Structures are given as structure tokens and as C-alpha cells.
Structure 1
């Protein structure tokens, strides 16, 4: 039977049938183009969420072609392209039996290099997982004195970052230095405290869970992520991440001007003003 005859049986004109067929074909082509674009962006940034994809595709194809937000989200769900919910990652475990030390730097401003060191751990996403960046920063110069990118949160990695900082400071008796951190087990464990005590470094810890209690360390994490990491494709693996982060920290320490130290470079300030050991200033 002809198309005209079949359409007549359903009370529909052949013209309406061909128009509908053209519309369905066009929608199919648009859907294919949208899904192709989604796969392209996900190949470059696997963690790019659906809302960001919708915004980006609307700017390319127009909101009329892409459709509304809810329709786009339904398409992503139907194609199993929604990202799984990220499990919250905690780097601090304060539920331990080690001694917790008082906060010695509340209201205190760093007066010279090696006066106050701040330590923190942040997570770095890589393809298929996550790594942890253990950092130790000099509060006065904002220089990164020690860092380790590791597959886990074990205290041995935090100790390696501390030992790098001690070497950077010349080792020996560092009685003019305060080490400040959160109350995580990595910083409170016997091995870590033992290294600090061996070098006569005073121990300070946050007294609450407020991020502002360790603001300089949090700020360092933010600079690395917002100025570098968030603008890059996901690291392929731990080795790739370590190589890239080494370059970032090298640039940050030696070439990036820092507003809070008069647009000087952190390492210029650190090495230019390091006092003699045990010159304790109250």
C-alpha cells in the first residue's frame, strides 16, 4: 500500500507524515550530535558534570537545539552518562588516642622565616582514583618547604614532607620554630611528634574543625588547585600527577609573585631573611 493510502486510513495527510518523519530524523541527528559532544568533553575532562555540559552545549548549539536542563539531564540518565556521586574524602581523622596539643598561633603573626610552619593534606584526583598531597608551608614567606604526593594518608608520607622542611631549614636545633597542623593522627602520632621533639620544634594544633584555623595551609591548597589543577585535564596516573605538581611548586616557590609578601617570590623571601637558629622572638 502507498504512503498516501496508509495515511488516509489514519486520517492523516501524506504531507503531514513526511513533515513528521523529517522532524524525527532531525531530532535524531541533533541527539547524536549532542551525545558526540558529551563524549568529546568527557574524554578531555572525565569529571565534567552534566550541568556544566548543558551550559557549554547550549552556548555551541543553542538552547533550542539542546533543550532545557531537565530534558538534558533525562537524556544523560537514559544514556548512563551521569557521573556517580563522589564519596566525601576526609584527610583528617581526629578520633584517636594521641595527645592533642593547644593552638599556639592564635592571634600570632609570623615574624620571620621558620617562625611558623603549617602542614596540611589535600586530595588530588587522577584517572580512576585519587592521590594525597602532603604539604608543609612556611607561614612568613609562603614558601613550600616540603611536599609528598602519595597514594594514601599514612603518616610516613607526612613525615617525609616534614623531614624535607627540616633539611631546607638546615636541620639541628629549630627551637625558634612552631609547627602548626590540624589534629589528625598523621601529625599527632608518636613518630611525627618524635621528629618535632628531636629538633626542638614547638607543637601547635587547631582546637576546632574550622578551616580558618589553618588558613595559610588551606590557601596554599587553593592556589595549586584554582590556578593550575582545575584548569588541566585529569592526571593520567600518580607518576604524571607528581611530575606536574613538582613543576607547579617549583614555579610557585621561585617565580610566582605573592601579594601578601609585597609581590616578592616566596623563596626569595625565605632565603633572604632566614635568621640564625634559636633566635626566638616573642
Structure 2
């Protein structure tokens, strides 16, 4: 996809055209052993089934499967993966010191139209010899994936890039909901939303179900795509994710809307909205 020897386009410009961050293109496998990568894969799979497992429960689970591991190792791996048990927050989901935390706005709210509420989250992507991180932005009502990015770090930049793409394509939502991770409490993220008149909503601490639709998306993505492949490079991962997202948005039936794919519901509802609804903003 990216041609290193292309004299007309720099690698940076090629990455921008392909929506790949330069850090992902230059991705090199992390310095984890094959055993740790195998454990991370098993932790990831188990966490989808039991998101309430903390370090102790996950350690016991792996020991019951025959792995000689201690809590110290599992704690480090879960933090590295950015996993967030329901009842606690690892470092990757803690707000940075001094960052503002916003209240959760969706409790008892009726979400009835596209662009009323968006949600975003980050997940771990296993590779053949390492791992990456994936951020997505979805429309809460239709479940459509509006944008996404992959990165080999948990810095806020790739999240802001995904947000900018979604807002450029679809306009700003009324509300953006995320967890309290440092990426989403960062000035770059919150300032972009505030300048666009978007109300910010953040999950209660340790509240897995507050962003349930993104969690369901992760489950579908991983079982239908990620776990079926062993990607070698960031470009391979991006191509695989892009293919699955296109399938999910345009062809995969969704039970929430009578079997219609998310993109079909999104555009049908947008067309049926009255002009005053399309312009409605939450004060």
C-alpha cells in the first residue's frame, strides 16, 4: 500500500492519503516474548467473555488453563493492553492529572436519531509478533462506524485524527460519550469537541455498560475478523480492519434495526429527518 521508493509522494503524504498514521507504518513488533503475546491473546479473548475479571481472577483463570503465571505479570500485560475491568481502571483509562472529568449524560436519555450521540473507545489488536491499538467512533443510534484509526501508542493524537475525520464527513454530534481515559480527557480531544458545540459525556468510573454499544462492536470485530488473522504489519492490520468495517457498515445485518445494516439505517433516518431536526443542537 505504501511505496517506500515512490519519488513523487513522500511516505508521510502516502500515509495521510491512506489514513494511516506514520507511527503505524513504521510499526515494529513490541519487545514481548512469544509466551507473553500468547498470554495477551488469551487474556483478550477471555476479557470479551468476562469483562469483570480483574488481575486476580484473570491470573486464576490462566493458571486453571495450565499456565504458570503470577499476578505481577498479568497486571503488567493487562495494563499494556489497556483493559478495564468493570470495577477498576488501569492506567490507560485514568484521566491525566489536572484533566477535567465530565458527567455521564446518557442515563435515561432516549436516543432516537443519527448524530444525536456518538461514542468512542480504544481496544487492543494482537499481531503475529506484537500488537497495535484501535480507536473507533460510532453513531450510538444506528451503530454505524463513522471513523477509526490504528496506532502503536496510546497517545491522544490518533483519537483526535479519527474525531476530525468523523466530524468532517458527518458534521458534529450533539453529545460525545467516552470513558475517562487520558486520551479522552486530554485538551486536544475536549477542546475540539467544545469548539464544535458538542456536549461531552463520560462513563462513570469502572462502568463497563455505560459504553455498551462500543463493547459489543469490539466483540463482533474480534471474533469475526481479528482472531481469524495473524497480521504481520500495521498496513496488513489496517487493510483487514477496513474490509471488515465496510462489511459491518454496509452488509452485516444488525438486530437493533430489524436486520438492516448500520449504514443503511443511518442514511435512511438522515433523509427522513425534518430540516429543524437536522439543525437541532442541545443547548
**TM-score computed with the length of structure 1 as normaliser:** 0.66
1:56 is matched with which residue? none
Paired with 2:216 and 2:165, the residues of 1 have a C-alpha distance of 21
Structure of higher CA gyration radius: 1
Q: What secondary structure is seen at the aligned counterpart in 1 of 2:77?
A: coil
Find the partner of 1:271 among 243, 263, 267: 267
Find the partner of 1:252 among 248, 252, 261: 248
1:121-200 paired onto structure 2 within 5 Å: 121-169=122-170, 171=171, 174=172, 177-200=174-197
Contact 1:46–1:234 at 8 Å: present in 2 too? no
How many corresponding residue pairs? 205
When residues 199 and 95 of structure 1 are mapped into structure 2, their CA distance, relative to the original with a 3 A threshold, is closer
Q: Which stretches in structure 2 are left out of the alignment for 5+ residues?
A: 1-33, 43-65, 83-91
Is it true that 1:239 corresponds to 2:235 in the alignment? Answer: yes
**CA distances 1:211-235 after superposition (whole Å, capped 9, x unpaired):** 11111111111110122222x1321
Q: What secondary structure is seen at the aligned counterpart in 2 of 1:135?
A: strand
Q: What secondary structure is seen at the aligned counterpart in 1 of 2:121?
A: strand
1:87 is matched with which residue? 77
Contact 2:124–2:133 at 8 Å: present in 1 too? yes
Paired with 1:141 and 1:212, the residues of 2 have a C-alpha distance of 18
* Structure 1 residue 167: Cα displacement: 1.7
Paired with 2:97 and 2:138, the residues of 1 have a C-alpha distance of 25
* Structure 1 residue 260: Cα displacement: 0.7
* Structure 1 residue 121: Cα displacement: 0.2
Paired with 2:259 and 2:230, the residues of 1 have a C-alpha distance of 30
1:218 is matched with which residue? 215
Is it true that 1:207 corresponds to 2:204 in the alignment? Answer: yes
When residues 46 and 95 of structure 1 are mapped into structure 2, their CA distance, relative to the original with a 3 A threshold, is closer
Contact 1:235–1:241 at 8 Å: present in 2 too? yes
Paired with 2:191 and 2:232, the residues of 1 have a C-alpha distance of 36
1:26 is matched with which residue? none
Contact 2:134–2:151 at 8 Å: present in 1 too? yes
- Quote the RMSD (CA, aligned, Å): 2.7
1:24-39 paired onto structure 2 within 5 Å: none
When residues 228 and 210 of structure 1 are mapped into structure 2, their CA distance, relative to the original with a 3 A threshold, is same
Contact 1:146–1:165 at 8 Å: present in 2 too? yes
Q: What secondary structure is seen at the aligned counterpart in 2 of 1:94?
A: coil
**CA distances 1:4-55 after superposition (whole Å, capped 9, x unpaired):** xxxxxxxxxxxxxxxxxxxxxxxxxxxxxxxxxxxxxx9xx96787xxxxxx
Paired with 1:46 and 1:192, the residues of 2 have a C-alpha distance of 33
Paired with 1:93 and 1:208, the residues of 2 have a C-alpha distance of 9
Paired with 1:110 and 1:168, the residues of 2 have a C-alpha distance of 21
Paired with 1:224 and 1:168, the residues of 2 have a C-alpha distance of 23
Contact 2:133–2:151 at 8 Å: present in 1 too? yes
* Structure 1 residue 209: Cα displacement: 0.8
